[in-house]
Amino acid sequence: RLPFALPIAEALNRIVDVMIPCRAGNAPDSPLMRALGLSALELYAAESAHHAEMRGVHRAVMLCKQAVRERFGEPLRLSDLAAAANVSPEHLVRLFRQYEGMTPISHLWRFRIERCEQMLRETGLGVHEIALRAGFKNGHHFSRMFRRVTGLTPTEFRSRAAFGNADSTPAPAPPSEFSH
């Protein structure tokens, strides 16, 4: 079930901006208009899920998670995440442990691994390129962290994903595994 109204996301605004000029030269049921409409609906559903997930979570935790989603490929430190959340690093760690059961840095590494899983399943990019795009300093560090979380090397994961045998979520790991 989707809510009747949500604040409009920037990505949805961009889709609408593309749809308006396309509408003049395309029938409403054209493949282009159908694809754009489906994209808008899927984005609305994703935004709805995101808003539902964020209810009941401290604003600083939400802001930190948003910064991770938007900047996970950049070198990020706890101080960067705290600045994005407008709190001190110590307070952010306390809030994150209270609401998420892990540290902000653990969340960042977990998010990076999830994005890497997605790229391994959906792209033909090399492991080293995926590692760099997800914010890892090198392929070795990425492979070590990936195996620690999933129990598989990135290459093993990709092979299993190609045959439909890869689990889509990382195996549970203790929150301290990523702490620095």
Angle at 96 between CA 93 and CA 99, to 5 degrees: 150
pLDDT band at 28 (very low <50, low <70, confident <90, very high): confident
- State how far the Cα of 126 lies from the Cα of 174, in Å rounded to an integer: 28
Residues found in the chain? 180
Helices (H) and strands (E) in the chain, counts: 9, 0
Better-scored residue on pLDDT, 138 or 51: 138
Query: pLDDT exceeding 70 applies to what percent of the chain?
Result: 82
How far is the C-alpha of 11 from the C-alpha of 152, rounded, in Å?
A: 34
Predicted pLDDT at 18: 83
Query: Which of residues 115 and 55 earns the better pLDDT score?
Result: 115
User: What is the pLDDT at residue 169?
Assistant: 47
Alpha carbon distances (Å) from 19 to 10, 42, 58, 68, 168: 14, 15, 36, 30, 33
> For the residues 59-85, what does the mean pLDDT come to?
94
Q: What is the mean pLDDT of the chain?
A: 84
Q: Give the residue from 175, 36, 38 showing the smallest Cα distance to 108.
A: 175
The predicted structure's pLDDT at residue 179: 45
78 within 8 A of 93, measured Cβ to Cβ: yes
Write down the pLDDT at residue 93.
Answer: 97
